[in-house]
Amino acid sequence: MSDGRNEKPATLVRRAALREGVSRPVATPIQPSVVYASPSIQTLHAQYEGGAYGYTYAREGHPNAELLARKIDAMEGAEGGLVLGSGMAAVSATILGLLGQGDHILGGNQLYGRSLRLMHQDLARFGIETSVADPTDVEAMRAALTPKTKMILVEVISNPTLRVADMEGIVALAKEAGVILAVDNTFTTPLGYKPLDAGADITIHSVTKLLAGHSDVTLGYVAAQDPDNMRAIYDFAVTVGMTPAPQECWLAERGLYTFPLRLEKAQENATALADWLAEHPKVARVLYPGRADHPDHSRAAALTGGVYGNMVSFELIDPTEAAADRMIQAAPDLPFAPTLGDVGTTLSHPASSSHRGLTSEGRAALGISDGFFRVSVGIEPIELLIADFETGLAAV
Ligand SMILES: *Cc1c(COP(=O)(O)O)cnc(C)c1O
């Protein structure tokens, strides 16, 4: 071997490599490679045909996405789930991978705002019919089925009024009607509800929220019970390029290790904060599924086994935007940010964000006034949180 003195720099750079060690990294390595080299054409054939295991091209799959998917699978009781570039990618791939022209989809009437937009504005362009019904009322769901209905899409806990869907009724209805039941499990998380175990066909997550938990990645996840459905969702997602980035998958994986601890602490805080808000003279009402005065408390208890989550909503006695704005401005340590599931508590004002597209009558019908707040409770010391809310409410 030459000592390299007479070699070209490019040759030297190409040849230089790390030594193989006998130890292994404890943290997952980030694997940014977009392409993978196969040793032969025969091997590549085997990779495509399933006889050999290996990656080819990152849009089709890469180790960080796959590892994250296996870990979420384990929590969801799923097999072969897929991680995608966002929660909306997961919702979109589920619907567009499985439905076609002439099919009908029935959604919950309080789905995530972009899911509703997809249904009402985009699916129609592809000849997919849409309607929505109240998922707390299984008879309303039944009445909205048509002979063309191929899928029902619901969330277990609605945003922002935190109503709890009649999941037992809807699972039975979907089976009876022979339609695919897809559940967006973002709010409930696999610790509160496991859609596939409960009899649903598909489970969906915005990993962006509680699972990753730090407001620094945008990712989604979907798993289907039926491998043919999973294949169709996978093929659609890969074709349209809903690829997750390796670095983001790595961050989400890191988040998962603390997810159960974070949820436990956040729920403890949510319970204490909801009880404190309920006694506060500036607060007209509090919605938290863990409280006995919540309209769906017993259903939430039965469905989630007491994992009521970290989301609390409340309404000011002065239900005006001016009062809400004074509270926001008086409490700058509570970020006014339209997301949920972060380690820190965030405040959302649905009338000016997620539900701004509705008329004020439409919002009123859902019980959302201009003084309505949704709180994603984080893991801060509870005294800090209560002090922040005390300061904010004093300005109302
Ligand atoms: C945030 C959210 C989504 C969309 O997820 P993104 O990761 O933001 O695309 C879908 N469903 C629910 C219930 C959500 O909260």
Strands annotated E in 66-138: 82-84, 104-108, 129-133
Residue 203 Cβ contacting ligand 1 at under 6 Å = no
pLDDT number for residue 198: 98
Q: Residue 184 catalytic? A: yes
Alpha carbon distance 132, 128 (integer Å) = 13
Q: Where are the alpha helices (DSSP H) in 241-347?
A: 246-278, 297-304, 321-330
**How many Cα neighbours within 13 Å face the side chain of 352?**
16
The single residue listed with the structure tokens 């998922």 is: 135
pLDDT number for residue 5: 77
Is the Cβ–Cβ distance between 259 and 68 less than 8 Å? no
Residue whose CA is at the smallest distance from ligand 1 atom 4 = 87
What is residue 289's three-state secondary structure? coil
Alpha carbon distance 310, 300 (integer Å) = 13
Cβ neighbours of residue 125 closer than 8 Å, sequence gap 6 or more: none
Residue 370 Cβ contacting ligand 1 at under 6 Å = no
Query: Would you say residue 75 has pLDDT above 70?
Result: yes
pLDDT band at 358 (very low <50, low <70, confident <90, very high): confident
Interval between CA 87 and ligand 1 midpoint (Å): 5
Is the Cβ–Cβ distance between 376 and 385 less than 8 Å? no
Interval between CA 89 and ligand 1 midpoint (Å): 9
Average pLDDT over residues 104-116: 94
Beta bridge partners of 157: 164
Average pLDDT over residues 313-319: 97
Per residue in 120-166, pLDDT tens? 999 999 999 999 999 999 999 999 999 999 999 999 999 999 999 99
Q: Residue 166 catalytic? A: no
**How many Cα neighbours within 13 Å face the side chain of 149?**
24
pLDDT number for residue 331: 96
* Domains parsed from the chain with CATH numbers: 41-256 (3.40.640.10), 259-393 (3.90.1150.10)
Per residue in 19-73, pLDDT tens? 999 999 999 999 999 999 999 999 999 999 989 999 999 999 999 999 999 999 9
Alpha carbon distance 335, 341 (integer Å) = 13
Q: Annotated catalytic residue: which of 36, 59, 142, 325?
A: 59
Is the Cβ–Cβ distance between 308 and 177 less than 8 Å? no
Alpha carbon distance 317, 314 (integer Å) = 10
Cβ neighbours of residue 26 closer than 8 Å, sequence gap 6 or more: none
Q: Residue 112 catalytic? A: yes
Structure-block tokens of residue 123? 């699916």
Read off φ and ψ for residue 150, nearest 5 degrees. Answer: -115, -20
pLDDT band at 2 (very low <50, low <70, confident <90, very high): low
pLDDT band at 3 (very low <50, low <70, confident <90, very high): low
Is the Cβ–Cβ distance between 238 and 60 less than 8 Å? yes
Question: Pick the residue with more confidence: 84 or 4?
Answer: 84
* Total Cβ atoms within 10 A of residue 21: 7
Is the Cβ–Cβ distance between 316 and 333 less than 8 Å? no
Residue 267 Cβ contacting ligand 1 at under 6 Å = no
Per residue in 228-250, pLDDT tens? 999 999 999 999 999 999 999 99
Q: Annotated catalytic residue: which of 163, 209, 326, 374?
A: 209
Residue 220 Cβ contacting ligand 1 at under 6 Å = yes
Identify residue 25 by its one-letter amino acid code: P
- Greatest alpha-carbon span in the chain: 83
Residue whose CA is at the smallest distance from ligand 1 atom 5 = 87
Interval between CA 212 and ligand 1 midpoint (Å): 12
Is the Cβ–Cβ distance between 141 and 173 less than 8 Å? yes
Per residue in 185-210, pLDDT tens? 999 999 999 999 999 999 999 999 99
Interval between CA 334 and ligand 1 midpoint (Å): 21
Per residue in 216-231, pLDDT tens? 999 999 999 999 999 9
Alpha carbon distance 348, 96 (integer Å) = 30
Beta bridge partners of 347: 336, 375
Alpha carbon distance 308, 264 (integer Å) = 10
Residue 155 Cβ contacting ligand 1 at under 6 Å = yes
Q: Annotated catalytic residue: which of 55, 71, 112, 282?
A: 112
pLDDT number for residue 4: 67
Per residue in 256-284, pLDDT tens? 999 999 999 999 999 999 999 999 999 99
For the stretch 276-307, what's the b/e string if a residue is b when 16 or more beta carbons lie within 10 angstroms of its beta carbon? bbbebebbeebbbbbbeebebbebbbebbeeb
pLDDT number for residue 357: 84
Interval between CA 22 and ligand 1 midpoint (Å): 42
Query: Would you say residue 1 has pLDDT above 70?
Result: no
Name the average pLDDT for the chain: 96
Alpha carbon distance 262, 260 (integer Å) = 5
Q: At what angle do helices 382-394 and 246-278 cross, to 10 degrees?
A: 60
